[in-house]
Amino acid sequence: MNAPTNIQVINGPDGKPAFVVIPFEEYQKTHAAERNLIPHEVVSATVDGATPVRAWREHLKLTQAEVAARIGISQPSYAKQEASDSLRRPTIGKIAKALGISVEQLEF
């Protein structure tokens, strides 16, 4: 019995399956683990001396004032946090949430 599905199999010239097309939502669910990847640009900036917080903010094209507003603190307070190499875990969590990334992505 053939059940209806949203998955499409595309055969190659030899008649064997070569590709599978799945709905985007299903792809997102199956590749959720890959969402914690860190872009090369972010890693490169940290190698050049930026803190991970600064590297992510610049990669996301946000200003310090924008991130500070999302956290609910002043820009000078955020600037101090961004420059720090030793942030407390709750602070890292707030910054990660404001940047829209995971804590793991910020703690590499």
Q: What is the pLDDT along the chain (108 residues), one digit of tens a residue?
A: 466 678 899 999 999 999 999 988 887 777 765 668 899 999 999 999 999 999 999 999 999 999 999 999 999 999 999 999 999 999 999 999 999 999 999 998
Cα 72-75-80 angle, rounded to 5 deg: 105
Supply φ then ψ for residue 6, to 5 degrees: -95, 5
Q: What is the pLDDT of residue 1?
A: 47
Q: What single-letter DSSP state applies at residue 23?
A: -
Q: Establish if 65 belongs to a structural domain.
A: yes
Q: Residue 79: give the domain boundaries.
A: 37-106
Judge contact between 53 and 106, C-beta under 8 A: yes
| Gap between the Cα atoms of 40 and 92, Å rounded | 21
Q: What is the CATH number of the domain that holds 60?
A: 1.10.260.40
Q: What is the pLDDT of residue 32?
A: 62
Q: What is the pLDDT of residue 29?
A: 75
Q: Establish if 72 belongs to a structural domain.
A: yes
Q: Establish if 26 belongs to a structural domain.
A: no
Q: What is the pLDDT of residue 60?
A: 96
Sign of the dihedral through C-alpha 66, 67, 73, 74: negative
Q: Establish if 28 belongs to a structural domain.
A: no
Q: Establish if 16 belongs to a structural domain.
A: no
List helix spans (H) across the chain.
24-30, 40-47, 52-59, 64-71, 75-83, 89-99, 103-106
- Look up the pTM and report it: 0.70
Question: Distance of CA 54 to CAs 6, 7, 96, Å?
Answer: 42, 41, 11
Number of structural domains found in the chain: 1
Q: What is the pLDDT of residue 30?
A: 75
Q: Establish if 51 belongs to a structural domain.
A: yes
Q: What is the pLDDT of residue 11?
A: 95
Q: Establish if 30 belongs to a structural domain.
A: no
Q: Establish if 93 belongs to a structural domain.
A: yes
